[in-house]
Each structure stands twice: as C-alpha cells, then as structure tokens.
Amino acid sequence: MTPPRSPHLTGPRTPPPAPRPRARTAGRRPAGALPVGLLLPPALDAFHTLHRPVYDTYARAHLAPGAADTAVRATFGALAADWTFLLGELNPAALAWDELVARTGSRHHPLPHIPAGHPLQYDALVLAEAGRSPIAIAEATGHPPSTIRYLIAPHALRADNLLLTR
C-alpha cells in the first residue's frame, strides 16, 4: 500500500505555459490549421469524386464561379443528407442530377445559344459544348450513353422516340 499524498508537496514546480497569441485575423484560420472535414460514406465519397468535375462544368456554365461552387456544394450537401434514401432508388445519379439542375436554376435561365427540344438534351449539349464526353455526361445525368449520343447528334430531336430512364 502506498502512503497517501500530501496536498503540500515540496519540490520544484513547472511554470504554467505562456499564453499563446491569437493568430486569427478577420475570420481566417491560423497558418497550418486544417479545416474540419466530414467523414463521408465510401459510396458517397466515390460518387463525389466521379461526378464533381461534371457538376462543376455545368454549374459554371450557368453561374458565376463563386455561385457555381456554392450550388455544387449545396447539391452534395443535400445528397449527403439523403444518401441512404438515394441508395435505395433505381437511379440515384438521375435524382442527384435533378438536384444540381434545380440548384443552378438552369431550367429558368437556359443559355440562349443552346437549342434544345428536351431538358436532358439541353443538359447534354451544355456539357458537350464544354468538352465533356458522352460517357461522362451519361454517368453524371444517370441516362444511357446511347441516349446521350442521340441527344447531342446534329439532327432534329423527336423526344417521343426516346426511352428516358427514371
């Protein structure tokens, strides 16, 4: 058994640490500080990695860079909030794309130089004009590559000939 400690110990004491100066200026983090990040489910992290470049392209075609970034971040925030629900749906990529389209307001303010007879055709043409491949467009919008190739082909569109998936 060890003897009880006396509240009055003798010996050298360690001085208290010196106060640290505050390095914050106008809402900025101190140098070397890392932002607090979220730990995403692996499937959502992969979805983000695959689709973020195409989402950025579409948003920047319709909005200023800052507003585009905000719209894309808000889209992925909404997806994260409903991720479990989305995974149970038949076509989560199409639902996610609809969320992005709604947040960019592109249906209300389409680009005037993009002639389209169908909303998906409009989206595909915007992305194709920005240099995205039909495969990348198909993966981001949740539609078959053959449909996207048809929509961006240089001919008149008859939407009643399409089999759109949902």
CATH number at residue 56: 1.20.140
Residue 17 lies in a domain: no
Contacting residues for 93 by C-beta, under 8 A, at least 6 apart: 47, 51, 139, 140, 141, 142
- pLDDT mean across residues, the chain: 83
Q: How many domains does the chain have?
A: 1
The full DSSP string for 23-60 is ---TTPPPTTPPPP-----HHHHHHHHHHHHHHHHHHH
Tokens of 158: 């008859």
What is the per-residue pLDDT for 33?
Answer: 45
Residue 26 lies in a domain: no
Residue 5 lies in a domain: no
What is the per-residue pLDDT for 154?
Answer: 83
Tokens of 15: 């001085």
Residues lower than pLDDT 50 in the chain: 32-36
What residues make up the domain containing 67? Answer: 42-161
Q: Which pTM value belongs to this model? A: 0.71
Residue 144 lies in a domain: yes
Residue 21 lies in a domain: no
Residue 8 lies in a domain: no
What is the per-residue pLDDT for 34?
Answer: 42
